[in-house]
Amino acid sequence: NAGVTQTPKFQVLKTGQSMTLQCAQDMNHEYMSWYRQDPGMGLRLIHYSVGAGITDQGEVPNGYNVSRSTTEDFPLRLLSAAPSQTSVYFCASRRGQGGNGYTFGSGTRLTVV
Amino acid sequence: GQQLNQSPQSMFIQEGEDVSMNCTSSSIFNTWLWYKQDPGEGPVLLIALYKAGELTSNGRLTAQFGITRKDSFLNISASIPSDVGIYFCAGRGAQKLVFGQGTRLTINP
């Protein structure tokens, strides 16, 4: 059981470039979320999904897009990277009804120069 | 948006000491969760609390869901070196999870 898998682990982008952070889970979890972690600010919710075909915005959605075409995958797209998006990004998933806390991936460290 | 205030932000203790940290919110949550994060890893769930007043233990860890549903605390007894890390509280509403800012625990052997 791989759990939640995030790729890549590290990425450096130039301002204005686009890229997709990948997230896949093999636990058949309905709920998936993307968080960013910045020093002293905890984890802030970017976007989340309660099932395939359904996504919604979190606390800090600007500059990011998501889609959920399958239960397993929840990619996060940066359309035009900015230095303010330098952060560590975590994907997480959990069961819907009766699920406990989220299971997190090991993160993607993104630097935008 | 919903805000969680976690304190203290950091703690420096001696091995063997007990640790206490807490989290307060302006909103009511249905579930309180406590996570630990090791360097370079994602947060890992330690304890989940589902009912106001609930007190739950996991080994040397004990957590409580406040009666008002707006707060929670985590205690660690007899700390050991592997307890080092960042501890996060999180409150869960209908669908979203909101995190506190974290408590960084450092232990002097």
Residues facing residue B64 across a β-bridge: B55, B73
Dump pLDDT digits (tens) for B72-109.
Answer: 999 999 999 999 999 999 998 777 888 999 999 999 87
Q: Do A42 and B6 touch (CB under 8 A)?
A: yes
Provide the shortest C-alpha distance from residue B3 to chain A (in Å).
Answer: 10
The tens digit of pLDDT for each residue in B15-67 reads: 999 999 999 999 899 899 999 999 889 999 999 999 999 999 999 999 999 99
Rounded CA gap, A23 and A108, in Å? Answer: 10
Length, in residues, of chain A: 113
pLDDT tops 70 at residue B1: no
Contact in structure between B85 and A27 (CB atoms under 8 Å):
no
What six digits make up the tokens of A86?
A: 């330098």
* Three-state helix/strand/coil letters over chain A: CCCEEEECCEEEECCCCCEEEEEEECCCCCEEEEEEECCCCCEEEEEEEEECCEEEECCCCCCEEECCCCCCECCEEECCCCHHHCEEEEEEEECCCCCCCCEECCCEEEEEC
**Per-residue confidence (pLDDT) for residue B108, from 0 to 100:** 86
Which chain B residues in 68-107 lie under 8 Å from chain A, judged by CB atoms?
Answer: 88, 90, 92, 95-102
pLDDT at A1: 62
Q: Is B81 helix (H, G, I), strand (E, B) or coil?
A: helix
Q: Between A41, A45, A101, which is nearest B45 by CB?
A: A101
Strands A76-78 and B4-7: unpaired
Whether residue A8 is preceded by a cis peptide bond, meaning omega within 30 degrees of 0, is yes
Q: Per-residue pLDDT tens, chain A, 113 aa: give them.
A: 679 999 999 999 999 999 999 999 999 999 999 999 998 778 999 999 999 999 999 999 999 999 999 999 999 999 999 999 999 999 999 987 666 678 999 999 999 99
Residue B96 has its nearest CB partner, among A4, A48, A105, at A48
Q: What single-letter DSSP state applies at residue B10?
A: E
Q: Tell how strand A103-104 and strand A87-94 pair up.
A: antiparallel
